[in-house]
Chains A and B, each alone.
Chain A
Amino acid sequence: MIMPSWNLIVDWQTIFHYSFMRTAFLAGTAMAIMAGVISYFVVLRGMAFASHTLANIGFAGAAGAALIGMNLSIGLLAFTVAGALGMGALGRRLYGNDLVVGLVLAISLGAGYLFISLYHGYATNLYAILFGQIVGITWSQVFITFATGIVSLLAMGLLYRRLLFASLDAESAEAKGLRVQWLSLAFLVVLGLVIAVALQIVGVLLIFALLVAPAAVAERLTSRPPLAIGLSVLLALFFTWGGLALSFYLPYPPGSFITTLAFAAYVVVRFGDGLRSLVRHRRKLSAIEQPEGWAA
């Protein structure tokens, strides 16, 4: 095992000495930037569960592709985008419904499981789609990740203000002439695209951390949308780079470190918030000298 020297420059040089770490960092960086941006809208639109379900639909697609001897990435992409289109066509009333989304999640996972058991080949790639394989990805995957990153960032930049309007105040936006349904569909397709690419790096079960945690933390720190998006990107980069660096020195997979960092960051801001409101509460109580309700 390599030990860190605790000299940051030397340590990074050691890490980047390895080609597999260079590709992992490059792909991880592109993925973190797009996940950071898109997670802002995932959280704002209350779509955490729906996006997790899209990832599971992608898993079923990849497993199905393996079964019929197709390229996994193509199966993955086809299923996430088709899933996104399906959700968009059904409308928010359905994909905002926990029960419907939960059932779709269950059937996708069940179908994926069935495809894997029917598939008698070597299932390592499928395992990678469940848990990710950020270390050991190919240069072509790095390239695809960058290309998707650029496309999704351009799309989000183009849609930014309209999407913000529709997410915050759909009815006013509609009255002002915004086609809310189409906008929602466009967002879902971009989300499906990002998920399809990110899945191959962090996996179905861990992608949740990157699609939800960065914005969930950022939103507690600022209420300015552009700042929150910027912060969300920085946090996603921090989780990804931190996870990769930790897994370089410790014998555990990067995905578990990425999710641990994301969770820890959320716990810290929630704890900070709780502390702040406790102080405020205490001040208010001492001002009116009413000890009842202190426990609350």
Chain B
Amino acid sequence: MLADEMMRGNNQQIERAAAPAPLSPHAIALRDTAVQLGVRTIWRDANLTIAPGEFVAILGPNGAGKSTLLRLLLGLLSPSQGRIEVLGNIPRRGNPAIGYVPQRRTLDADLPVRGRDLVMLGLDGLRWGLPLPGSKRRQQWARVRETLEAVEATAYANRPIGQLSGGEQQRLLLAQALVAQPELLLLDEPLASLDMRSQIAIAQLVARLARAQRITTLMVTHDINPVLPIVDRVIYVARGQVVIGKPEEIITTEQLSRLYDAPVEVVRDSQGRVFVVGLENETAHPSRDERTIAP
């Protein structure tokens, strides 16, 4: 273990000296990556690659650094150590090939703007000046209509977004992220504060669109169950570590006990749902459902 780490350290120094060779053809590659916020190391020694078109869920307790991972990929943060590649390049802020839905609470109930306008901002929100009418503008609106159709939000696209339900707002935010036809989609807790039925509906919608358009998708989620049938792999972020694997490899009693360094038990019910038990004293829980189970 120690030797392994030393070797990695050496490799890193050699790599820094030489011109960095691209880690492609991966959609995302992290090598010995560590991230720091202030003086606190959030996690370190992350090594993973994600193939184009893969659908990956990011799990872990609150504050473990799930959103931090997304911010790193967006180029809003720099790693304190190691390398990252996104779509064959170093992450850079404002990469148009990335669609992003930030974590949020529901939008202001008074927000007096149509869903359609919010989606349009995904196409033209970075432009200077006023939009001029013309064939280009018509094409943009056609693209917005198409995206609204794809997320099944056409029916309420003309209503003020503040008045829509959480699930409806989430579809519009998803449309905003998709409208510019990204290659990579980063979703931060898109299922939070939705009821179970909407959670499943949104998760399936994302999976369907991502598969159809071959968009690599990373979705931070509190609860694995709505996405369990659709994910290719999961990333688990906990206690300063980042691990990746198939759900049946990662969400096991042995793996999670080792990750948390505590006796954790993974229980499966008759419908195949997964519950993680034994983390009641952790700062947060990987599964929302166990809160109802825990005394």
A residues touching B (Cβ–Cβ < 8 Å)? 44, 157-162, 164-165, 168-169, 171-178, 219-220, 222-225, 228
Task: Kindly state whether residue B101 has any CB partner on chain A within 8 Å.
Answer: yes
Contact A165-B114, Cβ < 8 Å, known A171-B104, A172-B100, A175-B102: no
Query: Closest 10 CB pairs between A and B?
Result: A177-B94, A165-B125, A171-B102, A219-B112, A223-B160, A175-B100, A165-B121, A223-B114, A161-B127, A175-B74
Taking CB atoms, residues of chain A closer than 8 Å to B98 are: 175
Task: Kindly state whether residue B129 has any CB partner on chain A within 8 Å.
Answer: yes
Taking CB atoms, residues of chain B closer than 8 Å to A175 are: 74, 76, 93-94, 98, 100, 102
Taking CB atoms, residues of chain B closer than 8 Å to A159 are: 128
Beta-carbon contact of A169 and B176 below 8 Å: yes
- Per-position binary interface string of chain B over residues 3-36, scored 1 when its CB falls under 8 Å from any chain A CB and 0 otherwise: 0000000000000000000000000000000000
* Partner among B96, B159, B173, B176 whose Cβ is within 8 Å of the Cβ of A223: B159
Beta-carbon contact of B117 and A161 below 8 Å: no
- Per-position binary interface string of chain B over residues 159-176, scored 1 when its CB falls under 8 Å from any chain A CB and 0 otherwise: 110000000000001001
Q: Which residue of A lies closest to B110 (CB)?
A: A219
Task: Kindly state whether residue B131 has any CB partner on chain A within 8 Å.
Answer: yes
Task: Kindly state whether residue B155 has any CB partner on chain A within 8 Å.
Answer: no
How far apart sit A224 and B110, CA to CA, in the bound complex (Å)? 14
B residues touching A (Cβ–Cβ < 8 Å)? 74, 76, 93-96, 98, 100-102, 104, 110-114, 117-118, 121-122, 124-131, 158-160, 173, 176-177
Beta-carbon contact of A176 and B94 below 8 Å: yes
CB proximity of A76 to chain B, nearest CB, Å? 30
Contact A172-B113, Cβ < 8 Å, known A160-B129, A161-B131, A223-B160: no
CB proximity of A266 to chain B, nearest CB, Å? 14
Contact A161-B76, Cβ < 8 Å, known A171-B104, A219-B112, A223-B159: no
* Partner among A162, A168, A169, A219 whose Cβ is within 8 Å of the Cβ of B126: A162
Beta-carbon contact of B128 and A158 below 8 Å: yes
Beta-carbon contact of B125 and A174 below 8 Å: no
Beta-carbon contact of A164 and B102 below 8 Å: no
Interface centre among A44, A177, A219, A223 (most CB of B within 10 A): A223
Beta-carbon contact of B126 and A164 below 8 Å: no
Beta-carbon contact of B130 and A160 below 8 Å: yes
Q: A176-B100, A177-B93 are in contact. List 13 more A-B contacts (CB 8 A).
A: A157-B130, A158-B128, A161-B126, A162-B127, A165-B125, A169-B176, A171-B102, A173-B125, A175-B100, A176-B126, A178-B94, A222-B112, A224-B114
Taking CB atoms, residues of chain B closer than 8 Å to A171 are: 102, 104
Taking CB atoms, residues of chain A closer than 8 Å to B100 are: 172, 175-176
6 interchain pairs (CB within 8 A)?
A161-B130, A161-B131, A172-B176, A175-B76, A175-B94, A177-B94
How far apart sit A225 and B112, CA to CA, in the bound complex (Å)? 8
Contact A224-B117, Cβ < 8 Å, known A172-B176, A176-B94: yes
Taking CB atoms, residues of chain A closer than 8 Å to B112 are: 44, 219-220, 222-223, 228
Taking CB atoms, residues of chain B closer than 8 Å to A161 are: 121, 124-131
How far apart sit A224 and B125, CA to CA, in the bound complex (Å)? 15
Taking CB atoms, residues of chain B closer than 8 Å to A228 are: 112
Beta-carbon contact of A169 and B121 below 8 Å: yes
Beta-carbon contact of B126 and A177 below 8 Å: yes
How far apart sit A168 and B117, CA to CA, in the bound complex (Å)? 10
Taking CB atoms, residues of chain B closer than 8 Å to A44 are: 112-113
Contact A168-B113, Cβ < 8 Å, known A174-B76, A175-B102: yes
